[in-house]
A = this chain, B = another copy of it.
Amino acid sequence: MMNLSIIIIGDEILIGQVTDTNSGAIARTFGPMGWEIAGVHTVPDDADAIRDAVCAALERSQLVICTGGLGPTKDDITKRVLCGIFGGPMVRDEAVTENIRRVFALRGLQMNELTAAQADVPQSCSVIQNRLGTAPIMWFERDGRVLVSMPGVPFETEGMLPEVAARVGRFFGSDDHLMHRCLMVGSVTESALAQRLASIEDAIPPQLHLAYLPTPGLIRLRLDGRGTDKAALESQMEHAVAQLKAAIGANLRYDGDATAAQIAIEACRRAGLTMGSAESCTGGTIASRITAVAGCSDVFLGTVVSYSNAVKQNLLDVGASTLEEHGAVSREVVTQMACGARRALGCDCAVATSGIAGPGGGTPQKPVGTVWIAAATPERVVTRELNLPGNRARVIDRAATEALLLLVETLG
Contact = CB atoms under 8 A, between A and B. Distances in A.
Contacts of A357: 291, 294
A291 B396 contact: yes
Interface in A278-293: 279, 281-288, 290-292
A23 interface: yes
Contacts of A345: 308, 311, 315
A15 B42 contact: no
A49 B392 CA distance: 35
A205 interface: no
A23 B19 CA distance: 9
Interface string A327-352: 00000000000000000111000000
B40 A42 contact: yes
Contact of A292 (B287, B308, B310, B393): B393
A307 B311 contact: no
B315 A291 contact: no
Interface in A29-53: 31, 37-44, 49, 53
A25 B19 CA distance: 10
Contacts of A303: 284, 303-305, 307
Contacts of A15: 27-28, 31, 37
A24 B31 contact: no
Contacts of A14: 27, 37, 39-40
Contacts of A308: 297, 301-302, 345-346
A409 interface: no
Contacts of A291: 281-285, 305, 307, 357, 396
A227 interface: no
B283 A290 contact: yes
24 contacts: A15-B27, A17-B213, A38-B49, A39-B42, A39-B44, A40-B41, A41-B42, A155-B394, A279-B284, A283-B291, A283-B292, A284-B291, A288-B288, A288-B396, A291-B357, A292-B392, A297-B307, A301-B310, A302-B306, A302-B307, A304-B305, A308-B346, A314-B344, A315-B344
